[in-house]
Structure 1
Amino acid sequence: MTPAARHAAAIGILDRWLAGEAAEKALTNWARTNRYAGSGDRAAIRDIVFQSIRCRRSFAHLSGAETGRGLILGALRAAQTDPATVFTGDRFAPAPLTDAEFATETALPPAPSGNVALDCPDWLRPLLDRALGDQALAVLEALRHRAPVFLRVNSLRATVDQAVAALQAEGIDTRPAPLSPRALEVTGNARRVQTSAAFAAGLVELQDAASQAVVDLLPLTAGARVLDLCAGGGGKSLAMAARMSLQIFAHDIDAGRLSDLPARAGRAGAPLHLLDDAEGPERMAPFDLVLADAPCSGSGSWRRAPEAKWRLTAERLTQLCAIQDSILTRAAALVAPGGVLAYATCSLLEDENSDRIAAFLDRHPDWRCDLSRQFTPLDGADGFFAAILRRVD
């Protein structure tokens, strides 16, 4: 496909997204009906689509239209690329610029400013300012750009040096990521990782470096009974299993999210026990450590999942905070005497982080917070929050 044809495809996909369809679904449906497109074409189109979603407000401002075509026109203007090289009207290319679009091309709108330039919903800005202080502008700018790709070296299968060498032999370049001793940032050929022999052999797992750093904070002891209460895909369960020998139990209210975990655990050589609804956490309690990686706004990972930024509302945030409170209360009841409750989110917002810990401690004066840590994209990876809680003796 030509660059113009790729942009034309992105326009159609973005129109479907703006109409309410999930971007991943729109991309998948496009690929199924356009099987002539190669893997390179699909990857390029995906990059165009997700960058347009990240920068929805500023790109729409630069074109004057919040449509698929408008977002692509705004993206080209932001990149200082002549739109006429893409909007050619040739076969498979977008139609030429209209008179109105050409008029704005000769008299461009003023550069975006404020929340528009930062691609930030207006209602969220005060919450981010409160949480991030003088780092807010830099974090918001970082969220406008694609996230790095990180790997976790699985110490059950390889050392860091062995994993680096195995990846390098397949043309995948990496470098150490400072947030965790087993984290690697992929600097070349990231799209080869999941088809690599190193990945298939369980030497590495895809996992954000800040997510790995959260696991590093957990006060694990050999042989402990550990519950990953909101396990999702199970990445933190696998990371804990790689740290030391533990009895790890994984549970999620949406059992479908755990469907791939047995195969991943087998590949990694990580013994895990999945708890379904019939064999729930309450029946297996108590646990020496309970990790509650709670559902949240995902604001720390908006570089990877930019749709969430535009879907979040004040009402939904209030609902999430209530869910987080209930999860903390449930998790606390599962902790053995002298045990630990670890709370985590991939959020940047105090509403979901320190405020939830404060509210929990108000409700449970027999608990204390031993440690809390906020990671932001300025640390090099996703935004994550973690707190370590213990009962007061």
Structure 2
Amino acid sequence: MTPGARLQAAAEILDRIAAGAAAEQALLGWSRTSRFAGSKDRAAVRDHVFDALRRWRSSAAVGGAETGRARILGLLRQAGTDPDTLFDGAGHAPAPLTEAERDAGAMPDGAAALDLPDWLLPVLETSLGPRLPEVAEALRHRAPVFLRVNTMLGRREAAQAALALDGIETSPHPLADTALEVTSGARRVAQSRAYAEGLVELQDAASQAVCAALPLTPGARVLDYCAGGGGKALAMAARLRGVIEAHDADPRRMSDLPARADRAGARLRVVSAPMGPYDLVLCDVPCSGSGAWRRSPEGKWRLTPENFAQTLKTQAQILDEAADLLAPSGVLAYVTCSVLTPENADQVAAFQTRHPGWQVEDTRQFLPSDGADGFYYAVMRRGDLG
């Protein structure tokens, strides 16, 4: 495929997404009917689609319409690329620009300029204050690729050397002593020997920093209550060198976890009905995902006031359930990949109101503009133990 043909394919996929199709569904549908497209073509089309999703509003404004074609045009203009070099109709490329398209396009202001939903802007302004512009700008760009070094199998330097043999260049990241940022060869990671043998796992650097901050002690009984894919459970297992129990309300999310644990040499036990008491319960709760919108930009536009309100109720319910699973001196760790105060500090304060005596021992907010994803954690313990 020519570069122009890739843009045309992305524009058509964006129209399907605008009509209501999920991004992954739309991409899969295109790939199934485009057998001529090679792996590089598919990767390039995917990148164009996700770039447009990150800049859904501003690309439409600059392109002059809310169509896939206009959004691709808007992206080119924002990048300083002359659209006439690609919109020429040659080799399945987009048709040449019309006179109306040449005259259209200006960068918007307000929430549209930040590529944010209007209804969410006041929440973000309250949550982030003067840091909102830098966070919003970070969310308009692709996220770095991070790896966690499995310290049960090797040191960070050894992992770097192993990855380099497969053409993957990395650099240490300051957020966690297990974190590597991939600087070259990211698409080779899944086929690398270091990944296949469990020496490294894909995990955001801020997520690793959260796991490193948890007060794990030898012999502790630990539960990952909302395990999902299990990245944090694996990271805790590497630290604890003991058994981590993993649970999720939807067990299907953990379907790959046993195989990943075997590959990593981690001791994990999947449990359908956790039975306390536990020394530490980690609640990495369902959330808006606002701290990771550059990885999953579709979530930014699918979030509504109604499902956000329901998410807040679910978070509170999970905290209440998890507290009942803890030993009297146990630790409750609350985690989100969100930058929104209602999901973070406000949720913790509401829990303390419902459960007097719980004290926050440690808390931190990571922001996307700091280099990794946006994460929040609060470590709580009962303070009335006598």
* Residue aligning to 1:8: 8
Structure 2 residue 21 is matched with structure 1 residue 21: yes
Q: Percent identity?
A: 61
**Whole-angstrom distance in 2 between the partners of 1:225 and 1:244:** 10
Of 243, 253, 256, which aligns to 2:252? 256
| Paired residues of 1:226 and 1:246 also in contact (CA < 8 A) | no
1-side partners of 2:10 and 2:325: how far apart?
A: 48
Residues 144-180 of structure 1 deviation map (CA, whole Å, 9 limit, x = unaligned): 0000000000011111111000001111000001100
Specify which of 101, 112, 126 is matched with residue 130 of structure 1: 126
1:359 has 2:350 as partner: yes
In structure 1, the residue matched to 2:312 is: 321
Alignment partner of 1:303: what SS? coil
The one of 111, 118, 133 equivalent to 2:114 is 118
Equivalent residue for 1:169?
A: 165
Q: 1:346, CA displacement in angstroms?
A: 0.2
Q: Corresponding residue for 1:231?
A: 227
Deviates more, 1:135-144 or 1:119-128: 119-128
How far the C-alpha of 1:30 sits from its partner, in A, is 1.2
**Residue identity in the other structure for 2:176:** S
State the aligned residue count.
384
Q: Which AA in structure 2 matches 1:324?
A: Q
Whether the aligned pair in 2 keeps the contact of 1:228 and 1:251 (CA below 8 Å) is yes
| Contact 1:139 1:378 (C-alpha < 8 Å) held by counterparts | yes
Contact 1:223 1:245 in 2 (8 A): no
1:342-387 deviation per Cα after TM superposition (whole angstroms, max 9, x unaligned):
0000000000000000000000002111111100012210000000
Distance 1:113 1:358 in 2: 34
Q: CA RMSD in A?
A: 1.0
Structure 2: how far apart are the matches of 1:185 and 1:99?
Answer: 45
1:188-225 Cα deviation digits (max 9, x unpaired)? 01000001011001010000000001101100011211
- Which runs of no fewer than 5 residues in structure 2 stay unpaired? none
Q: SS at the partner of 2:90?
A: coil
Q: Check conservation: 1:237, 1:250, Cα contact below 8 A.
A: yes
2:213 is the counterpart of 1:217: yes
CA distance in 2 between counterparts of 1:246 and 1:196 reads 27
Contact 1:229 1:252 in 2 (8 A): yes
Q: Which of 203, 208, 215 is matched with 1:207 structurally? A: 203
Task: Tell me the TM-score normalized by structure 2.
Answer: 0.98
Alignment of 1:56-67 (within 5 A): 56-67=56-67
- Residue 160 of structure 1: aligned partner: 156
Q: Displaced runs of 4+ in structure 1, greater than 3 A? A: none
On the 8 A contact 2:4/2:91 being kept in 1, the answer is no
Deviations 1:39-74 (A, max 9, x none): 111111111100000001111001221111111111
Query: What one-letter code is carried by the residue in structure 1 that aligns with 2:44?
Result: A
Alignment gaps of 5+ in structure 1: none
Cα offset, 1:16, TM superposition: 0.9
Work out whether 1:272 is the aligned partner of 2:263: no
Q: 2:242, 2:354 → 1: CA distance?
A: 31
Contact 1:151 1:207 in 2 (8 A): yes
Match of 1:381 in 2: 372
Q: Secondary structure at the match of 1:91?
A: helix
Q: Give the TM-score taking structure 1 as reference length.
A: 0.96
How far, CA to CA, are the matches of 1:91 and 1:203 in structure 2?
44
Q: Which residue of the partner structure matches residue 241 of structure 1? A: 237
Amino acid in the other structure paired with 1:321: L
> Letter of the aligned partner of 1:347 in structure 2?
S
Query: 1:102 corresponds to which residue?
Result: 102
